Amino acid sequence: MDIARPDQKRKRRRRQIAFAFGAVLVLGFITIRLAQLKPAAPSVDRETLYFGKVDRGPMVRQVRGNGTLVPEQIRSITARHPGRVEEILVKVGAAVTSETILLKLSNPELEQAVFDAEWTLKGAEAELINLKVSLDSQRLNLQASAASAEANASKATMDAEVNQALAKDGLVPQLTLKQSLATAGQLENLSRIEARRLAISAEAFGAQLAVQEARVQQLRAQLDLRRSQLASLEVRAGIDGVLQRLGTGELLQVGDQVGAGSFIARVANPKRLMAEIKIPETQARDVELGQSAEIDTRNGKVSGTVVRIDPAATQGTVTVDVRLSGALPKGARPELSVDGIIELERLEDVLFVGRPVIGQSESTVGLFRVTENGREAVRTPVKLGRSSVSFIEVINGLTLGQEVILSDMSTWDGYDRVRLN
């Protein structure tokens, strides 16, 4: 017969509980370990990456930008006075000299002003001539009066001297002698007065002539001004060069009315060009006047010098003017697109590497450094220093001869290691 054994049943239950608890512990441990495992390193095709090796030696700091060639000498011509276009003598693109007449305007008011100024001047000149004749006549009358007074005074003096001699012998009464002496004194005084009038008249006549001559000179200057204004209706180029533009929007046509101060034409000298280079604002801080530059016209290269730096940034770039010092390549013309490289400085002995896509100067970035076996790349924090167009200084994080990935690795930001296939 079967005998009941409750103790065995309890032992089996305990073993089952112990096995279940152990299984839970093992499963939990495995789960924790799996959670602590790092994700598998992704594979990257080596052929799609760009690598650079850390080097030491001299490094030339440069900045690059694109821009256009522009004339150094540009003359914008505006209308000095309103007028109507009567004739256009030169077409856009034609070569001109400083005296070339581009177009002719008409202005009836200016023509009338010149006519009025001419006749006003002629009237003032006639008045001046008439005044000179009148003053000459008055001067002659005064000279005649002075001469007559002097002659009368001399005669009276002689008569008085004769009467004085006769009076000593008793031949002439004393009364007659006194009368002759008084007459002589009176006429001599009158002679001095007439001489003084003649002397003063010279100054008075000179003042009257000066006033009229000043008026004539003023009217002559006004006539010259009016004639100059009329001559400005023949619009001249002003400089040797090429006519680039005629009118603001559409080309000027015969019959168009232009206002005073409105733009008429632009002339530029195509033989003297400079480059306007747009440098990124973040790189333009080290650009200085006098630095050397090289301009690539895609048909040749020409050296130059930085002559102007725009104090304001526009759309994230700073405009730098480069004066060209070498001979211009063939095909160089205004508005031609060019590339420019400006040399900032030469560093003699620094640790540097090719400039990575995400690397900015004076920053710390994570670069993938290729391991010794060349099969993997590990993310390494690298402190970067001064930068150039193609190279950047390494301050810390890399050593001589190490190889890093310079391509954009933002796709693998979540990984610290990648496999290179």
HEC assignment per residue over the chain: CCCCCHHHHHHHHHHHHHHHHHHHHHHHHHHHHHHHCCCCCCEECHHHCCEEECEEEEEEEEEEEEEEEEECCEEEEECCCCEEEEEECCCCCCEECCCCEEEEEECHHHHHHHHHHHHHHHHHHHHHHHHHHHHHHHHHHHHHHHHHHHHHHHHHHHHHHHHHHHHHCCCCCHHHHHHHHHHHHHHHHHHHHHHHHHHHHHHHHHHHHHHHHHHHHHHHHHHHHHHHHHHCCEEECCCCEEEEEECCCCCCCCCCEECCCCEEEEEECCCCEEEEEEEECCCHHHCCCCCEEEEECCCCEEEEEEEEECCCCECCEEEEEEEECCCCCCCCCCCCEEEEEEEEEEEEEEEEEECCCCCCCCCEEEEEEECCCCCEEEEEEEEEEEECCCEEEEEECCCCCCEEECCCCHHHCCCCEEEEC
Same domain, 155 and 226: yes
* Count of domains forming the chain: 3
398 versus 35: the higher-pLDDT residue is 398
pLDDT at 317 over 50: yes
63 versus 199: the higher-pLDDT residue is 63
What average pLDDT score do residues 158-179 get? 74
Q: Would 283 be classed as within a structural domain?
A: yes
pLDDT of amino acid 117? 92
What average pLDDT score do residues 326-342 get? 87
Cβ atoms of residues 174 and 191 within 8 Å? no
Same domain, 244 and 227: no
Average pLDDT, the chain: 84
Q: Would 176 be classed as within a structural domain?
A: yes
- Which structural domain range is residue 86 located in? 75-107+233-268
Same domain, 297 and 314: yes
Q: Which residues contact 356 (CB under 8 A, 6 or more apart)?
A: 52, 365, 367, 392, 404, 405, 406, 407
Same domain, 301 and 397: yes
pLDDT of amino acid 321? 94
pLDDT level of residue 92 (50, 70, 90 thresholds): confident
Same domain, 313 and 381: yes
pLDDT of amino acid 31? 63
Same domain, 186 and 306: no
User: Per residue in 276-315, is it b (16+ CB within 10 Å) or e — as a string?
Assistant: bbbbeeebbeebeeebebbbbbeeeebebbbeeeeeeeee
pLDDT level of residue 123 (50, 70, 90 thresholds): very high
Q: Would 41 be classed as within a structural domain?
A: no
What average pLDDT score do residues 297-309 get? 91
The residue out of 268, 294, 320 marking a domain boundary is 268
pLDDT of amino acid 33? 59
Q: Would 13 be classed as within a structural domain?
A: no
pLDDT of amino acid 386? 86
Same domain, 114 and 102: no
Structure tokens at 122: 């002629």
Query: Which of 37-41, 137-141, 273-277 holds the top average pLDDT?
Result: 273-277
pLDDT (tens digit per residue) in 339-387? 999 998 888 889 999 889 887 888 888 899 898 888 888 999 999 988 8
Same domain, 60 and 122: no
Same domain, 208 and 142: yes
pLDDT of amino acid 146? 77
Same domain, 299 and 407: yes
What's the Cα-to-Cα distance from 179 to each of 73, 163, 169, 175, 190, rounded to whole Å? 93, 10, 18, 6, 16
pLDDT of amino acid 105? 92
Q: pTM of this prediction?
A: 0.56
Residue 330's identity, in one-letter code, is K
pLDDT at 35 over 60: no
The residue out of 268, 288, 318 marking a domain boundary is 268
CATH classification of the domain holding 97: 2.40.50.100
Q: Would 407 be classed as within a structural domain?
A: yes
Cβ atoms of residues 50 and 359 within 8 Å? no
pLDDT at 37 over 50: no
Same domain, 215 and 193: yes
pLDDT of amino acid 249? 66
Q: Would 321 be classed as within a structural domain?
A: yes
Q: Would 327 be classed as within a structural domain?
A: yes
Same domain, 294 and 399: yes
pLDDT level of residue 26 (50, 70, 90 thresholds): low
CATH classification of the domain holding 323: 2.40.30.170
The residue out of 231, 252, 283 marking a domain boundary is 231
Residue 371's identity, in one-letter code, is T
Q: Would 162 be classed as within a structural domain?
A: yes
pLDDT level of residue 36 (50, 70, 90 thresholds): low
